[in-house]
C-alpha cells in the first residue's frame, strides 16, 4: 500500500511537470531560448570559421612564398639550360604540394616551350604567375614564367566540413542547454504559475474561501513565488469581502442608474431640439431644415410624390436694422415667422434658412398649390402692421422637386426665382418656370 501511494504521488507530480512544460508560456520560452542559442551558435561558429579560414589562407600564402623563394631559382636554372627533365622533376615537386592544384612553366625562345602538371586554367582569376629570373653576371634575365593555380577546392572543402562539424556541435549543445533551462524553468516557475491560474479560474464569491498553497516541499525557503501566492490569497479574501458589499449596493445602484438614464434621455431630447431650433423665431434652423430636406427628398424619390420649396424674405429688411436697430429687426423677424406659420398648412415645414431668409417645404404639393400658399403668405405679410416699422412686404421664390435633385440644386432654383421677384419690383411671387401667379404690384 505504501508503494502504491508513492507511485500515485510520483505520477501526479510527473503529470503536473509535463502540464507545465506544455503550456503556452513554456513553449514560448523554449522558442526564445532556442532562438537565442541559435543566434549565439551562429555567431560563435562564424567567428571560429573566419579564424580557421584566415589561417588556411595564411598557410596558402606561406606556401606560395616558399615556392617563390626556394623552388623558382632551380626552375630558372633548368629553363636557362633548356633542361626539360629537370624542369619536369621540379614542376612535379611543386604540383605535389597540397596547396597547388596545378602549374605550367613556359620557357625557351619567346617562351614557346611549355610543361604542365596537375589541372590549371590559365585564364582563371585565381592563377598566380611568377617570372623565372636567372642572374647572368650583374643582370637578372627572365628565362621563363610559371603559372600556379592554388588548390582552393580543398581549401573550400575543409571550410565546409568545419561548418558542418561546428554547426552540428553547436546545435546539439544549444538543444541540450535549452531543454535543461526549460526543465528548470518549468519545475521552478511555470508549473506554479499554472497552478495559480487554475486557482484564479476557480474563484466563485459564493463558495467558502480556501487559501492557495504551492505544490512543493514545505521546507522550501520563501521566495518570489511565496510572495505572489500570499498576494493572491490576500486579493481573493478582499474580493470575497467586496462581493457582499457589491450585492448590497447593486439594487440601489440600479435604481440610481435608471433615474440618471431617464434624466439623460430627457436632456438629450432637449439638446436635440435646441440643436435644430432657431432661438429667435422658434422655427427650425438651418440644421433642422437640412434634416427635413433629406427626409422629404428621399420620400419624394421613393414614392414619386411632388414636393415644392418656397424661399422668402422681407423686402428691404436691411433698412429696418439700419434705421431702428437690431432689436426692432428681431421683432420684425419674429412677427414675419409667426405669419408664415399661421398661413402654412399642417403638412408644411417652416424654418429659418439664415438672416431674413425663410424656407417652407411643401410635401406632396405641386407648384400650383405651392403658389397659392405663397400668395396667401405674401398677402398676409403686406396687410400686417409690424411693430415700430409699420407695413412691410415680402417676396417669394418657388421651385418644384425633379427626380435626382439635391437640396442645393432645389434651393438654388428657388433662390433664382426669389431674385427675379426682387428684380421685378418685390412684393410678389415668382416660380422657377417663369409663370407668375396674380400677386402684388408688378
The DSSP line for 222-254 is P-HHHHHHHHHHHHHHHHHHHHHHHHHHHHHHH
Q: Looking at residue 208, what DSSP letter applies? A: P
Query: 218 is written with which cell numbers?
Result: 514545505
DSSP per residue, 149-170? EE-HHHHHHHHHHHHHHHHHHH
Q: How far is CA 225 from CA 191, 193, 194, 210, 349, in A?
A: 11, 9, 12, 18, 73
The total of other beta-carbon atoms located within 10 Å of residue 54's CB is 10
Contact 311, 417 (CB under 8 A): yes
Contact, 76 vs 142, CB < 8 A? no
356 flagged as catalytic: yes
Cα(365)–Cα(348) distance, integer angstroms:
9
Q: 397: closest CA among 413, 383, 409? A: 413
Cα dihedral 297, 303, 306, 312 in deg (nearest 10): -20
Half-sphere exposure of 76 (CA within 13 A, CB side): 18
- Residue 142 CA to residue 138 CA, distance in Å, equals 13
The secondary element (H helix, E strand) that includes residue 113 is strand 113-118
**Identified catalytic residue from 343, 356, 375, 432:** 356
Question: 441, 425 in Cβ contact below 8 A?
Answer: yes
The CA distance from 426 to 417, in Å, is 12
For the annotated catalytic residues, the residue numbers are 356
Amino acid at each position: 500500500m505504501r508503494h502504491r501511494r508513492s507511485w500515485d504521488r510520483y505520477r501526479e507530480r510527473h503529470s503536473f511537470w509535463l502540464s507545465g512544460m506544455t503550456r503556452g508560456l513554456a513553449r514560448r520560452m523554449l522558442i526564445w531560448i532556442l532562438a537565442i542559442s541559435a543566434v549565439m551558435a551562429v555567431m560563435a561558429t562564424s567567428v571560429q570559421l573566419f579564424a580557421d579560414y584566415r589561417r588556411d589562407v595564411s598557410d596558402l600564402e606561406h606556401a606560395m612564398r616558399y615556392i617563390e623563394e626556394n623552388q623558382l631559382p632551380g626552375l630558372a636554372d633548368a629553363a636557362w639550360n633548356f633542361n626539360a627533365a629537370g624542369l619536369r622533376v621540379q614542376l612535379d615537386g611543386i604540383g605535389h604540394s597540397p596547396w597547388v592544384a596545378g602549374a605550367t612553366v613556359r620557357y625557351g625562345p619567346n617562351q614557346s616551350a611549355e610543361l604542365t602538371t596537375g589541372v590549371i586554367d590559365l585564364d582563371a582569376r585565381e592563377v598566380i604567375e611568377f617570372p623565372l629570373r636567372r642572374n647572368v653576371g650583374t643582370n637578372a634575365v627572365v628565362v621563363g614564367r610559371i603559372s600556379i593555380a592554388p588548390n582552393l577546392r580543398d581549401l573550400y572543402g575543409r571550410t565546409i566540413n568545419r561548418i558542418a562539424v561546428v554547426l552540428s556541435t553547436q546545435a546539439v549543445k544549444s538543444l541540450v542547454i535549452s531543454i535543461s533551462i526549460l526543465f528548470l524553468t518549468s519545475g521552478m516557475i511555470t508549473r506554479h504559475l499554472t497552478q495559480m491560474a487554475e486557482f484564479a479560474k476557480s474563484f466563485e464569491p459564493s463558495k467558502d474561501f480556501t487559501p492557495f498553497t504551492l505544490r512543493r516541499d514545505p521546507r522550501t525557503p520563501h521566495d518570489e513565488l511565496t510572495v505572489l501566492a500570499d498576494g493572491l490569497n490576500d486579493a481573493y479574501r478582499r474580493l470575497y469581502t467586496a462581493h457582499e458589499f457589491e450585492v448590497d449596493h447593486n439594487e440601489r445602484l440600479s435604481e440610481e442608474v435608471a433615474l440618471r438614464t431617464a434624466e439623460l434621455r430627457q436632456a438629450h431630447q432637449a439638446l436635440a431640439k435646441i440643436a435644430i431650433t432657431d432661438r429667435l423665431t422658434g422655427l427650425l434652423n438651418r440644421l433642422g431644415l437640412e434634416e427635413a430636406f433629406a427626409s422629404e427628398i428621399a420620400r419624394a424619390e421613393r414614392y414619386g410624390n411632388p414636393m415644392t420649396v418656397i424661399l422668402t424674405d422681407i423686402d428691404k429688411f436691411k433698412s429696418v436694422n439700419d434705421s431702428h436697430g437690431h432689436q426692432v429687426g428681431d421683432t420684425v423677424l419674429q412677427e414675419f415667422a409667426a405669419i408664415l406659420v399661421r398661413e402654412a398648412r399642417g403638412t408644411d415645414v417652416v424654418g429659418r434658412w439664415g438672416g431674413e431668409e425663410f424656407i417652407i417645404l411643401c410635401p406632396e404639393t405641386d407648384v400650383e398649390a405651392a403658389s397659392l400658399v405663397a400668395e396667401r403668405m405674401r398677402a398676409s405679410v403686406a396687410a400686417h402692421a409690424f411693430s415700430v416699422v409699420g407695413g412691410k412686404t415680402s417676396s417669394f421664390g418657388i421651385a418644384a422637386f425633379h427626380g435626382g435633385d439635391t437640396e442645393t440644386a432645389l434651393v438654388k432654383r428657388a433662390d433664382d426665382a426669389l431674385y427675379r421677384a426682387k428684380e421685378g419690383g418685390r412684393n410678389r411671387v415668382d416660380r422657377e418656370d417663369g409663370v407668375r401667379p396674380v400677386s402684388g404690384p408688378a
